[in-house]
């Protein structure tokens, strides 16, 4: 009875705390919109949109990746991936809010660059809103079928749609922040790093579940390890040619990030997010340990939030500035993510974990 009562209390306490976190963070953030740092507040909003949308979309896509690979190892843990659908509406509303507030933060607003109509504010946000809406609609169709133990035919297509949509988000909401910089690998890096965020979150949720089998933690640990290597490779493949060939247009991205005071943030990211798992997750014991893997996954999520911040802010700020603006909107997004993903977890249980169509 005590276990049942504790679970019932958790169902009340956690949503209440998440709701307070969301409401409190949002109210504080809104106070900054009327001040002289409204542009910084909106860009902090953009950072959190990029992070939490990647987390939620990547979770659903991981279910499709495993299924398309004929993997059956997740079992009940697959339910954690499908809960990403809960953030569909918040992510669309957040993108719409970024569109509405674009005059305060978007560098292309009201200006004409060599890209022409491609960087027109209405065209840019219109195509991204349609693309993201299509992804969530397709993900919903997959989720409905997957709950019945089906979805095999849609799994590969969902992975494809994710790659295309997240490439658009990377090109339009990260690369285009500096209209004079371009990189053909920006989209690929963005969707691969989004899957890295999602698998780290999946591993953390598995570790928070006491009954998770150590072998399942080992499997997730291997995925985290593999995607740390893949994300590092995409990072290297994009930045190293820019550096050693001294490409005049592409080097604009590197200059503020390879020099002080942003340089120390870059080195922290290299050590923690990119190269850290190569050492910290090398052993089988590390991947199986609930405390160790869960702690590392938490650090990776913090690091990848910093990576999204690092992608956006150096273009506009000469040095790192982190304060109440960033904390408030991050708390609001975190509370909203907990509420929406928790609702989806309770609302859409995975009834069948295997089976064929």
First to last CA, the chain: 40
Measured CA to CA in angstroms, residue 212 lies from 85, 89, 277 at distances of 22, 30, 21
Q: What angle do CA 123, 46, 302 make, to 5 degrees?
A: 145
85 neighbors 143 (Cβ within 8 angstroms): yes
Would you state the pLDDT for residue 53? Answer: 98
List of the chain residues with pLDDT < 70: 1-12, 350-357
Predicted TM-score of the model (pTM): 0.94
Residues 148, 215: Cα–Cα separation, whole Å: 25
Instruction: Tell whether the torsion through CA atoms of 185, 186, 191 and 193 is positive or negative.
Output: positive
The overall average pLDDT reported for the chain is 91
Instruction: Show Cβ contacts of residue 259 under 8 Å, excluding neighbours closer than 6 positions.
Output: none
Would you state the pLDDT for residue 267? Answer: 94
Would you state the pLDDT for residue 10? Answer: 55
Would you state the pLDDT for residue 12? Answer: 66
Would you state the pLDDT for residue 116? Answer: 87
Task: List, for residues 78-129, the tens digit of each pLDDT value.
Answer: 999 999 999 999 999 999 999 999 999 999 998 888 888 999 999 999 999 9
Question: In this structure, what are the phi and psi dihedrals at residue 23, rounded to the nearest 5 degrees?
Answer: -65, -45
């Amino acid at each position: 009875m005590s276990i049942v009562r504790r679970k019932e209390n958790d169902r009340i306490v956690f949503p209440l705390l998440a709701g307070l976190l969301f409401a409190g963070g949002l109210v504080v953030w809104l106070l900054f919109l009327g001040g002289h740092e409204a542009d910084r507040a909106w860009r902090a909003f953009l950072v959190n949109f990029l992070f939490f949308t990647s987390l939620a979309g990547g979770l659903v896509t991981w279910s499709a990746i495993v299924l398309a690979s004929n993997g059956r190892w997740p079992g009940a843990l697959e339910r954690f991936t499908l809960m990403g659908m809960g953030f569909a509406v918040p992510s669309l509303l957040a993108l719409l809010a970024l569109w509405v507030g674009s005059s305060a933060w978007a560098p292309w607003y009201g200006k004409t660059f060599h890209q022409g109509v491609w960087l027109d504010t209405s065209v840019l946000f219109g195509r991204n809103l349609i693309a993201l809406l299509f992804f969530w609609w397709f993900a919903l169709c997959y989720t409905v079928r997957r709950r019945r133990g089906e979805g095999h035919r849609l799994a590969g297509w969902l992975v494809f749609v994710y790659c295309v949509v997240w490439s658009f988000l990377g090109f339009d909401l990260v690369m285009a922040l500096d209209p004079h910089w371009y990189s053909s690998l920006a989209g690929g890096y963005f969707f691969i790093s989004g899957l890295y965020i999602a698998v780290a979150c999946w591993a953390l949720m598995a570790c928070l579940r006491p009954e998770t089998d150590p072998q399942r933690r080992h499997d997730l640990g291997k995925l985290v390890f593999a995607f740390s290597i893949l994300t590092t490779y995409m990072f290297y493949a994009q930045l190293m040619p820019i550096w050693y060939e001294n490409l005049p247009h592409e080097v604009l991205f590197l200059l503020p990030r390879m020099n002080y005071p942003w340089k120390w943030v870059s080195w922290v990211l290299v050590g923690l997010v990119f190269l850290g798992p190569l050492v910290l997750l090398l052993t089988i014991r590390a991947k199986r340990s609930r405390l160790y893997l869960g702690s590392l996954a938490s650090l990776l999520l913090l690091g990848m939030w910093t990576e999204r911040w690092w992608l956006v802010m150096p273009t506009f700020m000469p040095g790192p500035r982190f304060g109440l603006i960033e904390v408030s909107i991050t708390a609001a997004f975190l509370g909203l993510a907990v509420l929406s993903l928790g609702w989806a977890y309770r609302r859409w249980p995975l009834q069948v974990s295997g089976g064929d169509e």
